[in-house]
Structure 1
Amino acid sequence: MLSGKTFGGNLHSKRAKRFLTHDMIVEELEGWDEEWLLVFDNYDDTSSFDLNEYIPKLGKGTVLITTRDARLGQDGWKRIPIPEMREEEALRLLLPDTDYNTLPEEDARACKEIVSMLGYLPLAIDQTRWFFSQFNFTSQMREYVEVFNNYKNNLIDAEWGYKRGEESRNWYTTFEQSFEAIASTKYGKLATHILTISAFFGGASLREDFFSAYFEADSRWIQSLGLRDKWDTLYFRGILAELVQRSLIRLENNGRNCFSLHPIIREWLRVRPESRRYDYLSEAVLILVAYTKSTADSSLPFRVQQDLLVHLESFLGDPVVQKKLSFRPDNESEQASLVMTFASVYRTSSHLREAKKLLQGLIEARRESGVADSNPVSIELQIELGETFIDDGEYTEAREHFSSVLKYADKLNRTSHCRTLLGFADTLGARGDFRAAYPMARQAQDLAATWAGVNSRLNFRAIFVLARIQAGLGRLIEVGNLVNGAYDRAYVAFGSCDRTTLEASYMRAGDMMARLDFDTAKSFAEQTLVTSENLNGPDHRLTLNGYISLGYIYGRQGLHSKARNCFEVAKSRAGSLFGGTHADVMVELTIGETYFAEHNYEEAEKQFQSGKNMSEKIHDTTMEVACTVSLFRLYFAQKKFRKAIPMAWVFVQNFPFRFFFRTNKTMVISAAVFGLLLVISGLKGYFMTVVALVSLLLVAVWFLFF
């Protein structure tokens, strides 16, 4: 099995055993010497994505695609038509406990007629088999055929008006019989209601937690079906067992009470006349919203995140939901809540482009309709969008939104005020303006601790922002106190498998690196990276940050090749996360630094120049200056002074003298003492000695406390 193979043989790729991206699979298969088989199952919607992106171009492999779209076979692929189930196989499935050859001749002919009517479809035959076992039709095959035909003609032709091929009509008839049988059980209305709602989600797994979260948010839906006002897990399991017994759902082994529907079952449920499309789809959306809100402070496993994305994409592709997301002044609050909930699903899974698209679309629609930015709902949307820009490394855009929100500070509630201060301070810190960012971040952290509590996620976020700004100011002792305290509290409050704890872990590893404890920092960062990959997947923002953190540690140890490998992994996986942002330039710059340290000046220049061009393209002046400074150092080291001189002033203007002095206090103070003593020894007179000693004291106080 591919996911059980160790990737690449190096330290980092071994972590890809459990969760893989298609890029990782393609790259790995192209490097295998042995033969391989890659299967794409149920590729029916050929317009949904380009399959060629998922197929290796090299290697000794074979690709097998199963599809119901006959057009795919016209694109140069070798087409292998799959024959229908043979009559003998179909009869064995229909009568697993009966020897067909022992049946009376009339019943034998009836069995053949049944499997033929069902088009030899295994799922439909299995449904009929269940009917045989429940209603003892085994000895009355001809009677069942008559009942079946009457049911189909009356139901589908008269009531549904549904025009499909004969086989499809036969399949749906068997499903409808099972559906009515369930309605007559003790689970009755609730079982059929849950089954029908499930068809309006995407094709991924569904969980009991979806429905229980909706129940906690609004129990009226379940009470209207005649049940008690308390969620009953055992009762829900009974419903699933009943549906499984009739082959209407299949249980998944990836979590608590998870299940999914066969695509044909989903299609049948969606076209039933009783399946009021608008009502059931709207309720499915509400269920997803309720679950998302109930887990807002939790770290969802990678598989659950992927399932949510499938359901969300299914909703967003439906005209009914698209209409709900279109701006309407009469329902702006509910609409904004829906958009922010969907955006949060994308943010949690690090699909930041999609999150930005949703938020920006609604903000622009509101502005075009004349809604002022000072509107409370507009303010919340801008804060959410600003935080998404920060996640994506687009600090300039984020700063514009937070600056706009701060104009209406008197209209902000406590949480919004704190989030806005944090966001603005974070963007100032990314620009290198730490002195302006510090008081704002300090105020936000004090507010978060007071209003939300010291163990709230908002307070932890404030601590992380404040620690980064303190590090920029060179206050490493304060950074250590903040980071270590935050990690200890987050571990106790949320456990190790949580995004807040993971962020605290990376910052703690950075603090250890700053203290030159590289071995401990590396071990800590590696453990955190493993946890993040298992929890969030290989291309999540936190996982990529882990590779970058580990790369910095390797770089400080002089292991530049390993450092570059880490940065390259982050770069290759970040295509769906960043894509032309501050973070991309940073990765280009750090890769260039590893080449520079190895005296590979040609490759270093390519990386620095690439970062500079990218920063100019996205108008990121901070990273443009950083790349220019790196190019100056590179040209100076090569003694290419003609190229270096034009960049000298940029280097002098932006060299972090303040940070250098703060992080090298012992060396700077020792040099100052030595220099002053030389001056004193050459001077005569009491007055000059006093002046020199006072100057020495002022220098010491400045570097120690400011």
Structure 2
Amino acid sequence: MQCIVKEQARMTWPESPPDYQAIGSKLGIPGLINRKGTVNADLEAVNNIRSALFSWLRLPGNSRWLLVFDNADDLETLDIQEYLPKHGGGAILITSRRPHFSEIAKQFHLEGLDSESAVKLLLSLARLQHAPKDIQGEALKLVKRLGLMPLAISHAGHYIHETKIPLEDYSKSYEKAFMTVQSRKPKVGWNVRDDTAATTWDISFSRIEKQNTEAAYLLVTCSYLNPEEISENLWEDKEFDNTEIKERVLLLASYSLVKIIRYGVFSVHPVVHSWARERLQRSEQFQTIKRVIMILGKASQRVNVSRESNEWKATEERGVASHLNYLHQYLKPNFSEFPQREKEGSKIVPLLASMINIALVFNNQGNYDEVMQWYERALTGREKALGKDHPLTLSTVNDIAGVFDNQGNYDEARQWCERALAGREKALGKDHPSTLDTVHNIAKVFCSQGNYDEAMQWYERALAGSEKALGKNHPSTLSTVSNIATVFWRQGNYDEAIQWYERALTGREKVLRKDHPSTLDTAHNIATVFSNQGNYDEVMQWYERALTGREKALGKDHPLTLSTVNNIAGVFDNQGNYDEAMQWYERALAGREKALGKDHPSTLDTVNNIAGVFSNQGNYDEAMQYNQGNYDEAMQWYERALASHEKALRKDHPSTLTIVHNIAVVFRNQGNYDEAMQWYERALAGSEKTLGKDHPSTLSTVNSIAGVFDNQENYDEAMQRYRRALASREKALGKDHPLTLDTVHNIAGVFENQGNYDEAMQWYKRALAGCEKALGKDHPSTLSTINSITRVFKSQMPKSTSS
């Protein structure tokens, strides 16, 4: 109103002192303007001033006005409609976080700034406009973390400028002390407003607390969840009324503290998310965390999240897992204090059960470090509350053994399995399903260590017990069936392996569905057997089914998905398509290093495979210098893999022996036959002891030793070993398997080197027919055989004709 008075004075008395009494009468507020033109601001005069304002807005021709109501959020104590003119030709702008005005005006929902503008604002206020690209990258991460919210970005920019804190360190300060960094206002330039990001939310939160305490607590609970997508069904439980949850969410949305994305799903702004968590006292934080653990623990056991159910859905599991990752991140600094702060008693048992359920989801996601932390805290709590020999305590012991097995720490896994088995046999009996589960796990550890005879004995015990106690198609029984197939596969008994895998596949498709992770495991394993048999058409179909299913169900970076990626690379490698192989191996390596660590056996297997590609590429007619470079790089990878395998497994473990064999290959390709022979002999001795004399891996080493003798022109020794390899490969793999044909080709080479060209030609022709059938006409092995036949043919021709 004061502005209107001044404008009226300027227009009516442009060159003489204005008559404010006349202006007051004209505007309908006589006596409320003093001689200096100041409007009386007493509360008693408000109604008259409002009436005068409305009268002025309605004046004929008065259409160029804009009435602004800023931060119109308190709709409970102030009836804003009393201040809205009913007539007039101007415009009204209302800014509010409340959605209620959509019924009387056109509503525009303002999102945050775009990324480019947000970065410019931040760097401008922080006085870093000319920052290098790496700083701009950090700025982009920061503004996204602030939800692209101008007010929060403004606080951040001023704080960074005043404290001179590096951008990368601001995020740490922001996480530790949100209230401090988001409440600091600059000394100048902020006089137009007194609010901050923190105080803005505090005002709304206080109002919500008065209306619905549980709604306020719901927001606090959400501050430990993934803010981007929170489903109301997380609270589906007898304890909670779904209608009440919806009402609480609607109330929070009415204050813009949450945003409803779609029916039953809402999000929390990143700044609100941090503020709600930071505002809690330490004791309140632990109570909230406990409540979140109970909520997520129960959600982890829902039928669409549990892997034991045929109603399991990958999207539901990943949704719960996303919340668990946030919870773990915020709980991690104080994990050692939890759940010790809980008093002993009946209330802690459900809490520990929820922690176990949470650990299981982490385990299914392949996050083994997180799994172990949750299991260890739960074990400590159960031992204290229930005792070391209680079935629930022993269940946690068994679960921890499984984690060690998945991490490749087999000695630890065995120890924990044995503790669980002794306790369960005593407490539950030898034929109890829980006891049989531990029996199964012991067998799995023996298999992982390459001790297949022991593994089979334990699996057979587990299978007999499971079939009797649970039935032939129970998931636990089918798991044992699948693992027995794995033992046959690793022993090189491929026909038996396929039969057992097919039994497991049929059962799992029936009980669990085709896209269940356990079913996809079986599909992957069937592909692996076909790969070993050299049946590449079949193998790629099965791997593609496994990969598509695992990417959808588990995600692209899950260890099981990466296993399929690694094996697809192996198929390309075996087909001589080294560029494709390298791309797939590099994807597998990057994922495994991130998910499992650089020294995990699976990571090292990929390291070994990459080294193999470098070694194979060194066999082409390229410059010696380039070849040597490939061999040097291969040797570095092999040495890294060998050291870690010997540490994580043992010297005669099959995976370790594979590396020993491949190191010998590098020395042989370099022409260092004495070194090659030493490494081959070490690999052979270990393979014969661990796997047996007729195992495919053993025969591969026998074949390679023959090759070294051939290179050294010791043809009798070479032929003796080639014939041993051929006889066993024909028996185990078949006459047309690529490995069998490789030996056939090598025997032909010995005859050629001895000058026995007729014999050489017969063996080369046999190799060619087999390669064209099994591998195709353009495979490197096929082309190599054609080249050899051409060479022998020329050698048989008279010199004059040949020239």
Shorter-chain TM-score range: 0.5 to 0.7
Residue 608 of structure 2 aligns to a residue whose secondary structure is: helix
Aligned-partner SS, 1:251: strand
Which deviates the most, 238-247 or 324-333?
324-333
Partner of 2:586: 568
Q: Displacement, 1:522?
A: 1.3
Alignment of 1:33-72 (within 5 A): 63=140, 65-66=142-143, 69=156, 70-71=159-160
Letter paired with 2:265:
N
- 1:284/1:374 Cα in 2 relative to 1: closer, same or farther (>3 Å)? closer
Alignment of 1:401 onto 2:416: yes
Gaps of 5+ in 2: 1-114, 123-131, 147-154, 171-189, 620-629, 697-726, 741-803
User: 2:646–2:656: 8 Å Cα contact kept in structure 1?
Assistant: yes
Q: Is 1:252 the equivalent of 2:274?
A: no
The answer to whether the 8 Å contact 2:565/2:584 transfers is yes
Q: Deviations over 1:456-499 (max 9, x none)?
A: 43233323321110112333222212223333443343334432
Answering whether residue 602 of structure 2 is matched by residue 583 of structure 1, we say yes
Matches within 5 A, 1:268-307: 268=276, 271=279, 279-294=287-302, 295-297=305-307, 298-301=312-315, 303-307=318-322
Which position in structure 2 is the counterpart of 1:391?
Answer: 406
| Letter aligned with residue 645 of structure 2 | S
- 1:451 maps to 469
What is the letter of the counterpart of residue 528 of structure 2? G
| Contact 1:585/1:611 (<8 A) preserved | yes
- In the TM superposition, residue 540 of structure 1 has moved relative to its aligned partner by 0.9
Equivalents in 1 of 2:352, 2:728: separation in Å? 46
Partner of 2:657: 625
Q: Distance in 1 between matches of 2:500 and 2:565?
A: 23
What letter corresponds to residue 604 of structure 1 in structure 2?
A
Is the contact between residue 601 and residue 634 of structure 1 (CA under 8 Å) also seen in structure 2? yes
1:583 to 1:59, Cα distance in 2 relative to 1, 3 A:
farther
Alignment partners' CA distance in 2, 1:244 and 1:667:
66
Measure the CA separation in 1 of the matches of 2:536 and 2:120: 46
Counterpart residue number, 1:410: 426
SS in 1 for 2:426: helix
CA displacement 1:3-58 (0-9 Å, x = unmatched): xxxxxxxxxxxxxxxxxxxxxxxxxxxxxxxxx97999999xxxxxxxxxxx9979
User: SS where residue 658 of structure 1 aligns?
Assistant: coil
In 2, Cα distance between equivalents of 1:329 and 1:170: 40
What is the CA distance between 1:578 and its match in structure 2? 1.9
1:524 maps to 2:542? yes
CA positional deviation for 1:282: 2.6
Structure 2 CA distance for partners of 1:195 and 1:361, relative to 1, 3 Å: closer
Q: Deviations over 1:556-579 (max 9, x none)?
A: 323233223222211111223222
Establish whether residue 342 from structure 1 lines up as the match of residue 358 from structure 2.
yes
Equivalent residue, structure 2, for 1:658: 694
**Conserved 8 A contact 1:544-1:574:** yes
Match of 2:576, SS state, is: coil
Checking the alignment, whether the CA contact within 8 Å between 2:299 and 2:320 is kept in structure 1 is: no
**Contact 2:355 2:375 survives alignment (8 Å):** yes
Deviations 1:160-204 (A, max 9, x none): xxxxxxxx44642233234544x4xxxxx7655544543454645
Q: Secondary structure at the match of 1:250?
A: strand
| Aligned counterparts of 2:553 and 2:613: Cα–Cα separation in 1 | 30
- Structure 2 CA distance for partners of 1:260 and 1:577, relative to 1, 3 Å: same
Deviation at 1:437, TM superposition (A): 0.9
Q: Judging changes above 3 Å, is the alpha-carbon distance between structure 1 residues 380 and 503 closer, same or farther for their aligned structure 2 residues?
A: same
Contact 1:544 1:570 in 2 (8 A): yes
Conserved in 2, the CA contact under 8 Å of 1:582 and 1:620?
no
1:267 aligns with 2:279: no
Deviation at 1:418, TM superposition (A): 2.3
Q: Contact between 1:347 and 1:388, CA under 8 Å: does it hold in 2? A: yes
Q: Distance in 2 between matches of 1:545 and 1:498?
A: 17
Structure 1 residues 500-544: Cα deviation after superposition (integer angstroms, max 9, x where no partner): 222122112223324433123213313432332233222211211
Equivalent in the alignment of 1:208: 232
- Decide whether aligned partners of structure 1 residues 667 and 62 sit closer, same or farther in structure 2, where only a CA change above 3 A counts: closer
Secondary structure of the residue aligned to 2:495 is helix
Residues 591 and 314 of structure 1: CA distance in aligned 2, closer, same or farther (over 3 Å): closer
Asked if the contact 2:119–2:136 (Cα under 8 Å) also holds between the matched residues in 1, the reply is no
Name the amino acid aligned to 2:662.
S
Q: Which whole-Å CA distance do the structure 2 matches of 1:42 and 1:308 have between them? A: 31
SS of 1:324 mapped into structure 2 = coil
Q: Matched residues in 2 for 1:391 and 1:40: separation?
A: 43
Pick from 447, 450, 458: which aligns with 1:432? 450
For the Cα contact (< 8 Å) 2:523–2:546, is it kept in 1? yes
**Secondary structure at the residue paired with 2:257?**
coil
Whether the 8 Å CA contact 1:363–1:378 is kept in 2: the answer is: yes
Assess if the C-alpha contact under 8 Å between 1:200 and 1:281 holds in 2. yes
Q: How does 1:670-685 map onto structure 2 within 5 Å?
A: none
Select the residue among 614, 625, 629 that pairs with 2:644. Answer: 614
Q: Distance in 2 between matches of 1:56 and 1:315?
A: 30
CA distance in 1, matches of 2:529, 2:396: 34
> TM-score w.r.t. structure 1 length?
0.63
Determine the C-alpha separation between the residues in 2 that align with 1:487 and 1:416.
23
Q: 1:544 to 1:412 in 2, by over 3 A?
A: farther
Q: Percent identity between the aligned chains? A: 13
Distance 1:505 1:40 in 2: 48
Aligned to 1:474: 492
Amino acid at match of 2:368: L
Give the match's secondary structure for 1:173: helix
Deviation of 1:344 (Å): 1.9
> In the alignment, what sits opposite 1:604?
634
- Number of aligned residue pairs: 522
Kept in 1, the 8 Å contact 2:569–2:582? The answer is yes
Aligned-residue offset at 1:348: 2.4
Aligned pairs for 1:513-552 within 5 A = 513-552=531-570
Give the direction of change, closer, same or farther, for the CA distance of 1:381–1:77 in structure 2 (3 Å limit).
Answer: closer
Shift of 1:241: 3.7
Larger-gyration structure (1/2): 2
1:358-396 per-position Cα deviation (integer Å, ceiling 9, x unaligned): 4346657989x8998655444222211121122223333
Partner of residue 324, structure 2: 309
- The verdict on how the C-alpha distance between 1:201 and 1:417 changes in structure 2, with shifts beyond 3 A counting, is same
Instruction: Kindly indicate whether the alpha-carbon contact (under 8 Å) linking 1:351 and 1:576 is maintained by their aligned counterparts in 2.
Output: no
> What SS class does the counterpart of residue 252 from structure 1 fall into?
strand
My pick for the range that moved more, 545-554 or 452-461, is 452-461
What is the match of residue 74 of structure 1? 164
In structure 1, the residue matched to 2:785 is: none
- For 1:322, the aligned partner's letter is E
Amino acid across the alignment from 1:659: H
Native 8 Å contact 2:208 2:215 kept in 1:
no
Letter in 1 for 2:256: S
**Cα drift, residue 59 of structure 1:** 12
TM-score after normalising by structure 2:
0.56
Residue identity opposite 1:386 in structure 2: A
Deviation of the 1:339 alpha carbon: 3.9
* Distance in structure 2 (CA, Å) of the matches to 1:75 and 1:191: 37
Q: Distance in 1 between matches of 2:735 and 2:580?
A: 35
From 343, 346, 356, the equivalent of 2:372 is: 356
Cα distance change, pair 503–667 in 1 and its aligned pair in 2 (3 A)? closer
Higher relative contact order (CA 8 A, sep 6+): 1
The answer to whether the 8 A contact 1:608-1:627 is kept is: yes
Cα root mean square deviation, aligned: 4.4
Q: 1:397 & 1:258 partners in 2: Cα distance?
A: 44
Assess, with a 3 A threshold, how the Cα gap between structure 1 residues 523 and 282 changes in structure 2: closer, same or farther. same
Match of 1:137 in 2: none
In the aligned structure 1, how far is the partner of 2:641 from the partner of 2:203? Answer: 62
| Residue pair 1:567, 1:590 contacting (<8 A) in 2 also | yes
In structure 2, the CA distance between the partners of 1:638 and 1:385, relative to structure 1 (3 Å rule), is same
Are 1:593 and 2:659 an aligned pair? no
